[in-house]
Chain A
């Protein structure tokens, strides 16, 4: 279980968290799915892509279309067993072996796709990890030393003019800093007194939300 960090003298917040973002990024880069998707298209598209590639390279892919021409199909039906029975036998063996090999290749392909799915799952977990945690690492990047407070309140004032729509007259304006980040101004509705614990919860939540928004990668 985790415990509050500030009661861990031996855990230095900046040192501890700074590398995290980089590590997660490294892992995400390794799982650059877009490139893999290009390499590993599925189903018929794969066949089409292969034929096109073969045709560009050496025209071999063209022979895949032999089934569409009657005379080409007839070549396959030529029976030479009378002139060379051993060769006919060998040809039959090749047909059988080819069928088996194609079948196993297809099965292997399916397994590879499942394996690829595992990659997608891992990649999505890494995205979650990044979403859930990168802000902590970014906070650590804004930290010069581990002795300072996570959040510092600089001023608390009541709003006396009504210049914008985001807040009302009498609302409380609080200027805070999260570690060494730039000061942020938060507004708290006047109904919540600064003496209530709820007040700082609202301020801290707003400050954190703004920090996350500003530091979204």
Chain B
């Protein structure tokens, strides 16, 4: 039944705004915590990155030795040709059957012409290639390329995130000084004046206490 005056409505707005302001501050505090966590994660990431670089060098050196040795082997005249060719002719049908079975069961989506393509491939393949583990070397090189691509991709993403986060955390919100003594909030208060009292109005001793 009571009539609420415009001043009282305004005072209620002030009280409500105070609550919202606290919530915004809580959100900002949460952001700062997340910022710290991101900083920690980034430090760990940097450490890991340097380990990765060492491991990459080690791996690439080993890959290079493998490639070089394979080249030398390929350049040397093929030996035991007859034995290998005979075994290869017996190996091919089994290999084709195993591969088609695997492809139909596991790979599912794919070209129905895989059987024909496979036969052609096997006919063109030299048993020498198998003897020197050429397929393993090819897989190794392919993995090597994939890993490089993967790391580049992840690095690219991290640098995009880093740019966005730098902009975000460079905001004045995260760097400003304590407030200067002024109070521009437009509403008056009739219930809790202490809330609006600017800090500089408190005597020093009370602040200390």
Contact = CB atoms under 8 A, between A and B. Distances in A.
Q: In the complex, which range does the number of interface residues on chain A fall in?
A: 35 or more
Interface in A123-174: 125-126, 128-129, 132-133, 135-136, 139, 147, 149-156, 158
A201 B158 CA distance: 41
B78 to A, nearest CB: 9
B107 A56 contact: yes
A71 B87 contact: yes
Contacts of B186: 147, 149
Contacts of B52: 108, 111-112, 115
A23 B162 CA distance: 10
A209 B116 CA distance: 64
Contacts of B84: 75, 78
Contacts of B32: 2
Contact of A20 (B4, B122, B153, B168): B168
B133 A118 contact: no
Contact of A84 (B44, B79, B198): B79
Given A5-B21, A75-B87, A108-B59, A156 B99 contact: no
B95 A62 contact: yes
Contacts of B15: 197, 200-201, 204
16 contacts: A7-B182, A23-B167, A36-B154, A51-B106, A55-B118, A65-B98, A65-B102, A66-B95, A66-B135, A76-B130, A105-B140, A107-B59, A112-B52, A115-B49, A128-B30, A153-B16
